[in-house]
Amino acid sequence: MKGVILVGGYGTRLRPLTLTQPKPLVEFANKPMMLHQMKALAKVGVDTVILAVSYLPELLEKEMKIHAKALGINIIFSAEEKPLDTAGPLSLIKELRETDEPFFVLNSDIICEFPFQEMIEFHKKHGREGTIAVTKVEEPSKYGVCVFDEKTGKIDSFVEKPQEFVGNKINAGMYILNPSVLDRIQYNTPTSIEKEIFPAMAHDCSLYAFVLPGFWMDVGQPKDFLTGMSMYLMYLRKTDPSQLASGDYVVGNVIVDPTAKIGNSCRIGPNVVIGPNVRIEDGVCLKNCTVLAESVILTHSWINNSIIGRKVLSLTRFGFCKRKKEKILIFFI
């Protein structure tokens, strides 16, 4: 089985972290964002992952080839010469037409429990062209809502930012599609899968909704990145607590890379991720934040609700910083 990950965007909402690397390589819980998806795909037998790329493809290729080899999967890079939206890139991938087997399509900035085996079984059961993962939201009027039969999953329509309640499930950015869907996409032409392809499939009664269990977050902007991080840490607490740090300095759910150095009298947590080769000096307080690789947090700093970029040196407890070698600064949210 094959999987496609759409990685062509510039990641502008997550700048400045994405000025020097594509968004899928930004570390989420000390792994490149996209690696969480690749591991989940490999776990259900996906043997080929195709990356639809455009922005900084050479960096993606260099790093993801290493991870693909470790996972034992084949990785293919499909480059678009012009922006093709969310469906257009699929038209360029000839490998998707080589068999009649369904394939995954994923947005690269989604974090969840990745119930891919359940999605596969649901897709086989209804036997139609496509399956969309959907997730429940508290304020559906802010999103495009998926209207479907709660018993069968058959999608009737999509309503953009409804003013009256029509449902509370939205597109979660993960799909299983049959190769026949490619016939709906004009070759090398900008096409929206959400606004053009999916409504047409729903009209033909060919599209079904799979309701995601557990947490879900699009982590493509700083505030949601941190919210998704706290959700993911809670998920680890329930499913694999051995990945979480412990000690007198730890409060709540925290990940600390083994190469990081933590000083005396620190208070780390809740909801903190500390990356490789980070140095936390004495008396530091961190809460609701990520500290990326090789950064240094100086004595008695206090940082809250922030993403600290790679190789950042903090100057004061108020979180100002200066650059070391890379042009990445602290975010405040």
Q: What share of the chain is helix, strand, coil (3-state, %, to 5)?
A: 30, 30, 40
Task: Return the pLDDT at 42.
Answer: 94
Task: Return the pLDDT at 11.
Answer: 64
Over its C-alpha atoms, the chain yields an Rg (Å, rounded) of 21
- Asked if omega into 102 is within 30° of 0 (cis), the reply is no
Task: Return the pLDDT at 326.
Answer: 37
Annotated catalytic residue 161: yes
How far apart (Å, rounded) are the C-alpha atoms in residues 281 and 119? 46
pLDDT under 70: residue ranges of the chain: 10-11, 55, 314-333
How far apart (Å, rounded) are the C-alpha atoms in residues 275 and 259? 8
Burial class, 144, CB count within 10 angstroms (exposed 0-12 / middle 13-18 / buried 19+): middle
CB 91, CB 186: distance < 8 Å: yes
Burial class, 152, CB count within 10 angstroms (exposed 0-12 / middle 13-18 / buried 19+): exposed
CB 192, CB 85: distance < 8 Å: yes
Please pick, among 69, 142, 161, 261, the residue that the annotation labels catalytic.
161
Contacts of 296 (CB under 8 A, 6+ apart): 278, 279, 281, 312, 313, 314
Q: How many residues does the chain have?
A: 333
How far apart (Å, rounded) are the C-alpha atoms in residues 40 and 275? 22
CB 315, CB 321: distance < 8 Å: yes
Please report the sign of the dihedral spanned by the C-alpha atoms of residue 157, residue 131, residue 230, residue 296: negative
* Domains in the chain, CATH or no CATH each: 2-218 (3.90.550.10), 243-332 (2.160.10)
CB 130, CB 178: distance < 8 Å: yes
Contacts of 198 (CB under 8 A, 6+ apart): 130, 132, 155, 158, 171, 207
Q: What are the C-alpha distances in Å from 77 to residues 23, 54, 81, 329?
A: 16, 10, 13, 30
Task: Return the pLDDT at 19.
Answer: 76
Could you identify the residue written with the tokens 């709540």? 252
Instruction: Supply 233's token pair.
Output: 């840490």
How far apart (Å, rounded) are the C-alpha atoms in residues 159 and 168? 11
Phi and psi, residue 198, nearest 5°: -65, -45
How far apart (Å, rounded) are the C-alpha atoms in residues 189 and 254? 45
Q: What are the C-alpha distances in Å from 311 to residues 198, 222, 314, 322?
A: 43, 18, 10, 9
pTM: 0.85
How far apart (Å, rounded) are the C-alpha atoms in residues 252 and 113? 20
Please report the sign of the dihedral spanned by the C-alpha atoms of residue 203, residue 107, residue 52, residue 45: negative
Crossing angle, helix 33-43 and helix 57-71, to 10 degrees? Answer: 40
Task: Return the pLDDT at 314.
Answer: 66
Sequence-ordered alpha helix ranges (H) in 44-196: 57-71, 88-91, 116-126
CB 325, CB 311: distance < 8 Å: yes
Instruction: Supply 66's token pair.
Output: 């290493």
Task: Return the pLDDT at 115.
Answer: 96
